[in-house]
Amino acid sequence: MIYPNFHTYIKSIDDVHTRIAKIGDIIDFMEDALLQLAEDGVTVQSYSIDSGQSKVETNYRNPVQILTAIQALERRRNKLTAQIDGHITKLVYIK
């Protein structure tokens, strides 16, 4: 199956432990893409991850977008990990 983006791919995984592992795989891949950018100085227009069972294709225009995506994925992974560990986060609005 081909997924149009990482969000759709991650949401398709039902098991939380597998979802956390796949997010880690995506982060590793994106960090490798950043290192390649630093080494080659070439802008990545698009790339894909192919696990043999599924494929994710996505587009980024610059390293800042890749870094922003990594940070978002790390936050999501941390949230899922906290749910497994039983930690509860309470959001409070302060004026």
Domains of the chain, by residue range, sit at: 2-85
pLDDT of residue 61: 65
Helix, strand, coil tally for the chain in percent (to 5): 55, 15, 30
Residue 24's pLDDT band, with cuts at 50, 70 and 90, is: very high
In the β-sheet with 46-50, what is the strand arrangement from edge to edge?
A: 2-3, 55-59, 46-50
- Name, in order, each residue with C-beta under 8 angstroms of 78's C-beta and a sequence gap of 6 or more: none
Predicted structure pTM score: 0.72
> At 49, is the secondary structure helix, strand, or coil?
strand
- pLDDT tens per residue, range 36-78: 777 776 665 566 666 666 677 776 667 888 888 899 999 999 9
- pLDDT tens per residue, range 73-93: 999 999 999 888 776 555 666
- pLDDT tens per residue, range 4-13: 878 888 888 8
